[in-house]
Amino acid sequence: MENFTDPVFSSDHLLNYLPENPIKEYFANAWIYMTKNYTKFQIATWGSLIVHELVYFAACAPGIIFQFLPFMKRFKLQPNRPETFDGQWKCFRLLMFNHFCIQLPLIAGTYLFTEFFQIPYGWDEMPPWYNIALRVFGCAVIEDTWHYFLHWALHDKRVYKHIHKVHHHFQAPFGMTAEYAHPAETLILGMGFFIGILLLANHVILLWAWVTVRLLETIDVHSGYDVPYLNVFHLFPFYGGARFHDFHHLNFTGNYASTFTWWDKIFGTDKQFKEHYAKLEDKKSKSQ
Ligand SMILES: [Zn+2]
Ligand SMILES: [Zn+2]
């Protein structure tokens, strides 16, 4: 691992300031066990499916619990539209169809991709954690850009009712609705996820690191709860968060980006969002 060379991190000076991965030893043992006992196809396909399902439902769990905790209501962005059992069941059914009939064949394709581009699976080729983190950030910037323009296009009157209307079924989203979408939307917006991998993958670990971050992020922005202080994503400047995307579901217009706020700022598509919160602030200050 120490022998790994990369133009971005070739400076020893910079490396001296970065801490080692504290769970490196356990992670190494688990990774070596996996690569010895399973084929590349099994790792790329079933491994990726397991990572996706585990992360998706683990990330949804807090939101599922929050609806039964009365004190969490103060953090709910649209408290007048609570989650319902029927809504969550309807969402779960479509998710299962999308996960197993649309996403699984795409995931299986990643095996062919790693073979074609000779993306390594071994522990010896494992990049250091900071290299993975930087590449994941690159994937997020690429995906956010793709998502912004294609999502805006999906709101065009001529196509909206055919595809994107499904995702807007829930005006007050909850975590599970992150991937509640028409299969065509899963393919169109999902492309943005794969572009980063195509350009930046240097190890199969990037697929899992990026899918983990992307799922945590999209479930956070759909959670319907804006819980202060506990969310590490808010340490990143320009991170949109739940308040930003929840407004998109409430208003149907504006705030088209998935992760960052810069594209909406540049094109002024966050205007209604800013006005909405300025009005709320004004009301609050007048009532005090
Ligand atoms: Zn939309
Ligand atoms: Zn959404």
List the domain range (segments joined by +) for residue 98.
21-287
Q: Is 60 exceeded by the pLDDT of residue 5?
A: no
Ligand of minimum distance to the alpha carbon of 269: 1
What's this model's pTM, rounded to 2 decimal places?
A: 0.89
pLDDT (0 to 100) of residue 21 = 73
Spatial separation of the C-alpha atoms in residues 202 and 275, rounded to whole Å:
43
Ligand of minimum distance to the alpha carbon of 252: 1
pLDDT, tens digit, 9 for 90 and up, residues 183-203: 999 999 999 999 999 999 999
Q: Is residue 77 part of a domain?
A: yes
Q: Is residue 28 part of a domain?
A: yes
Q: Is residue 215 part of a domain?
A: yes
Separation of 220 CA from ligand 2 center, angstroms? 11
Separation of 248 CA from ligand 1 center, angstroms? 7
Spatial separation of the C-alpha atoms in residues 241 and 259, rounded to whole Å:
7
Q: Is 50 exceeded by the pLDDT of residue 3?
A: no
Q: Is residue 7 part of a domain?
A: no
Separation of 165 CA from ligand 1 center, angstroms? 8
For 80-112, b/e burial (b = at least 16 CB within 10 A) is ebebeeebbeebeebbeebbeebbbeebeebbe
Residue whose entry in the numeric block shows the structure tokens 């705030």: 255
Spatial separation of the C-alpha atoms in residues 265 and 267, rounded to whole Å:
6
Ligand of minimum distance to the alpha carbon of 217: 2
pLDDT, tens digit, 9 for 90 and up, residues 97-125: 999 999 999 888 889 999 999 999 999 99
Separation of 42 CA from ligand 2 center, angstroms? 32
pLDDT, tens digit, 9 for 90 and up, residues 41-78: 999 999 999 999 999 999 999 999 999 999 999 999 99
pLDDT, tens digit, 9 for 90 and up, residues 136-168: 999 999 999 999 999 999 999 999 999 999 999
Separation of 253 CA from ligand 1 center, angstroms? 7
221 φ, ψ (degrees, to nearest 5): -70, -20
Structural domain count of the chain = 1
Q: Is residue 12 part of a domain?
A: no
Ligand of minimum distance to the alpha carbon of 152: 1
Separation of 272 CA from ligand 1 center, angstroms? 14
Q: What is the 3-state secondary structure (H, E, C) of 24-83?
A: HHHHHHHHHHHHHHCCHHHHHHHHHHHHHHHHHHHHHHHHHHHCCCHHHHHHECCCCCCC
Separation of 123 CA from ligand 1 center, angstroms? 40
Ligand of minimum distance to the alpha carbon of 179: 2
pLDDT, tens digit, 9 for 90 and up, residues 20-44: 777 888 899 999 999 999 999 999 9
Q: Is residue 13 part of a domain?
A: no
Q: Kindly state the percentage of the chain with pLDDT values over 90.
A: 80
Q: Is residue 2 part of a domain?
A: no
Nearest-10 crossing angle of helices 104-116, 183-200: 20
Separation of 153 CA from ligand 1 center, angstroms? 9
Q: Is residue 16 part of a domain?
A: no
The model's confidence at residue 230, banded by pLDDT at 50, 70 and 90, is confident
Q: Is 50 exceeded by the pLDDT of residue 2?
A: no
Separation of 151 CA from ligand 2 center, angstroms? 10
Separation of 223 CA from ligand 2 center, angstroms? 10
Separation of 282 CA from ligand 2 center, angstroms? 27
Q: What is the 3-state secondary structure (H, E, C) of the chain?
A: CCCCCCHHHCCHHHHCCCCCCCCHHHHHHHHHHHHHHCCHHHHHHHHHHHHHHHHHHHHHHHHHHHCCCHHHHHHECCCCCCCCHHHHHHHHHHHHHHHHHHHHHHHHHHHHHHHHCCCCCCCCCCCCHHHHHHHHHHHHHHHHHHHHHHHHHHCCHHHHCCCHHHHHHCCCCCHHHHHCCCHHHHHHHHHHHHHHHHHHCCCCHHHHHHHHHHHHHHHHHHCCECCCCCCHHHHCCCECHHHHHHHHHHHCCCCCCCCECHHHHHHCCCHHHHHHHHHHHHHHHHHC
Instruction: State the chain's mean pLDDT as an integer.
Output: 91
pLDDT (0 to 100) of residue 198 = 93
pLDDT (0 to 100) of residue 8 = 53
